[in-house]
Chains A and B, each alone.
Chain A
Amino acid sequence: MTGLEARVRRLEAIEEIRQLVSRYALALDSRDIPALVSLFVEDVRTHDGRVGRQALAEWFDPVLRPFGTTFHLVGNHVIDFVDEDHATGVVHCRPEHEVGDLWVVMPMQYWDRYERREGHWYFTSRSPHVFYAADVQENPLKVPGRFHFPGNPFIHKADLPERWETWQRFWGTDTEEGTA
């Protein structure tokens, strides 16, 4: 492969990975589960230890039922390449969810892994990490654990920014200081 071709391939990869994230959001908000799972590699591993897109579809179904209207707005997307066929990403997402009489906003990040198979890029995994979850009329800082999302079947806590080691070191809350 010439140098120029490698550069074009890299630009195409970035574009395709960026669109994976937008396609995921649209498929999720549309509750289009076949489209959603088609964005993942064929041998995707589910969070409950199974393999394959069908298993992923079965995993998603109950996870997406406890809310009405949802709106997954995405923004900043950092993409780092491991090699020509593997990359990682961090994506900002500000989803809103109709949860009964509540409107729950949950600013978060997805920590992603991507892989190219037969010329196209797919997710191998997505891991959500939440800053807070709160009804629009609540002050997130007054919510216990900064997490109020009744009935969320998959995400149960906020772990950002405290999870970052750099954050812990900056504020002196790392294990060397003796905190749990």
Chain B
Amino acid sequence: MSTGDLEARIARLEAVAEIRSLPARYAQHYARCDPDALADLYTDPVTLRTGERGSRKSLRQVFAGSCTPADGVRMAILHVGNHIVDFTDEDRAVGSVYCRAEVQRGNGSFFHQAIHYGDHYRRRDGVWRFERQRDHELFYGAPAGSRPNGLPPANWPERDVGTGTFPGSRRRDTSRPGS
């Protein structure tokens, strides 16, 4: 076993450790309503959910817009669990993340959601970041204390609560373009 091989294996382990921290950092910065820190987790430029390339700055505005309006997020408890990481090459990887969220909005609504994130990670200048706006799909959303059964589709982000689209019947393709 050559030193080079060993070094490559250690570099891979370090990459996984750094990538694993990204969803946790995302959850932390989101809960703290810190749009600057959130945006900094992304590459610049970044691929938006629409498929277009946007600036990190424009993504920052999206994050700022989730906390500030009257019905914006007040309290977000994002419990991140399952995380699958698959490398496509030395500088790119894709991820699948489960999250159980309990969220309070400024208008008084309080709901919980079971979320699946589909992530694309990229290393640039030695730092791993999200390369695309995270795919965010609901298994479901439901008002606190309620059952999700029989709710109409949430069609997130149109509504916070309702039946979701994950896993659904869609093709599980890691090269799926945005939206």
- Which positions in A face B, CB cutoff 8 Å? 1-2, 4-5, 8, 11-12, 15, 19, 21-23, 25-26, 29-32, 69, 71-75, 94, 96, 98, 100-103, 135-137
Contact = CB atoms under 8 A, between A and B. Distances in A.
Closest 4 CB pairs of A and B: A22-B82, A30-B167, A103-B147, A71-B114
A98 B82 contact: no
A134 to B, nearest CB: 12
A69 B139 contact: yes
Interface in B66-98: 79, 81-85, 96, 98
30 contacts: A1-B1, A4-B6, A11-B13, A12-B9, A19-B83, A19-B84, A22-B81, A22-B82, A22-B83, A22-B84, A25-B98, A26-B82, A26-B96, A26-B98, A26-B167, A29-B139, A30-B167, A30-B172, A31-B167, A69-B140, A71-B140, A72-B82, A73-B79, A75-B81, A94-B100, A96-B114, A98-B148, A101-B149, A103-B149, A136-B146
B147 A22 contact: no
Nearest to B148: A103
B132 to A, nearest CB: 19
B84 A8 contact: no
Given A12-B13, A19-B85, A74-B81, 16 more contacts: A2-B1, A8-B9, A11-B13, A19-B83, A21-B82, A22-B84, A69-B139, A71-B100, A71-B114, A71-B139, A72-B98, A73-B98, A74-B82, A102-B147, A102-B149, A103-B149
Contact of B145 (A30, A32, A96, A137): A137
A25 B172 contact: no
Contacts of B149: 98, 100-103
A64 to B, nearest CB: 13
Contacts of B85: 19
B154 interface: no
A12 to B, nearest CB: 7
B147 A71 contact: no
A73 B150 contact: no
Main secondary structure of the interface of A (DSSP, over half): mixed
Contacts of A98: 148-149
B124 to A, nearest CB: 23
A177 B56 CA distance: 66
B81 A73 contact: yes
A29 B167 contact: yes
B13 A8 contact: yes
A5 B164 CA distance: 45
Nearest to A68: B149
Nearest to A8: B9
Nearest to A69: B139
A21 B145 CA distance: 29
A26 B85 CA distance: 12
B10 interface: yes
Contacts of B83: 19, 22
Contacts of B146: 136-137
Contacts of A96: 114
